[in-house]
Amino acid sequence: MRIAISGGTGFVGRHLAAHLIGQRHEVVLIARGMREADTFLVEHPSVTFRQADLSDADVLMRAFAGCDGVAHCAGINREIGRQTYQRVHIEGTANVVKAARAAGLQKLMLISFLRARPNCGSAYHESKWAAEELVRNSGLDYTVLKCGMIYGRGDHMLDHISHALYTLPFFATVGFTEKPIRPVPIQDLIEIMRAALVEGRLSRATVSVTGAEELYLSEAVRRVASVIGKRVFVFPAPVWFHYMLAQMFERAMRVPLVAVAQVRILEEGAAQAAPPSDSLPCDLRPSNRFTAEQIRAGLPEPGLFGLRDLRCG
């Protein structure tokens, strides 16, 4: 098969592309740009790279030509300049839908967020919901995956927790009463995506994707600290304090230690879908727990946060 991936050089897109070419499928990677680390994918004989954003449906249609399906993985967790939730999540998805119809694609799959919903006071959540609605009303065979927190090599979760622990001996959780999370390992998510794209499963379905184990962020942090051999003091801090820090980090860091949208996610937890959605079939449900082995496999190179992480660095 030939599969197009929007956000193809992002965390989920890269892992999906690597898996598909390993299964002898052809891949069209669509992204605004690529890093040196993406060269091995872009230069693979089964990969076609198209440098494009989501603002032009005609460009996307040409990229989708000859493809069997598209995995719409592009998204942002903070707004920078022209990269707003409205432009990326809503207008971008509308262009993907338009291009997919014009190109005659058989399948459209969207990566969304577990608790994306309307009228909740979070632009991130509301724009993700709007994207879901565009896909559900597209007239195409679709699958919407409402995912919880995803982790693995190249993620934000393990990357930021580990670098924070190398930098500081303490970690503040969000709020005085923690809400549970169910982290999803990237390899479990990729299996679900493959089943939808290649096998045609989960047709016209919106399903929640959560990990096999429910825990609190404080426990996740302690497990990561144990794996990297660091002692950590974990304490709660008020939600308003985290929102204040997030606004500072968004202004100062290339990839914020925590973004405003992520504070909202942790404030309400990431263990149950909202609104409720369909469950995965038993054979596709994530089975890997948040173990030392899983953590070790997803950790980045050890290091502290430094000047290179600043937007002016």
Tell me what the mean pLDDT of segment 231-242 comes to.
96
Q: How far apart are CA 50 and CA 96, in angstroms?
A: 14
User: Which residues, 6 or more positions from 10, have their beta carbon under 8 angstroms from its beta carbon?
Assistant: 31, 73, 74, 75
Residue whose tokens read 């693995």: 152
Residue-wise pLDDT for 289-300, tens only, equals 999 999 999 999
Residue-wise pLDDT for 27-39, tens only, equals 999 998 877 667 7
Q: How far apart are CA 204 and CA 107, in angstroms?
A: 10
Residue-wise pLDDT for 188-218, tens only, equals 999 999 999 999 999 999 999 999 999 999 9
Mean of all residue pLDDT scores within the chain: 94
Nearest 5°: the CA angle 215, 16, 13 is 85
pLDDT of 313 above 60:
no
Please report the pLDDT score of residue 312 as a whole number: 66
Tell me what the mean pLDDT of segment 112-137 comes to.
97
pTM for the predicted model, two decimal places: 0.95
pLDDT of 311 above 80:
no
Domains and CATH numbers, the chain: 2-150+183-211+272-288 (3.40.50.720)
Tell me what the mean pLDDT of segment 59-67 comes to.
96
Q: What percent of the chain has pLDDT over 90?
A: 87
What burial letters (b/e) apply to 2-22, b meaning 16+ CB within 10 Å? bbbbbbbbbbbbbbbbbbbbe
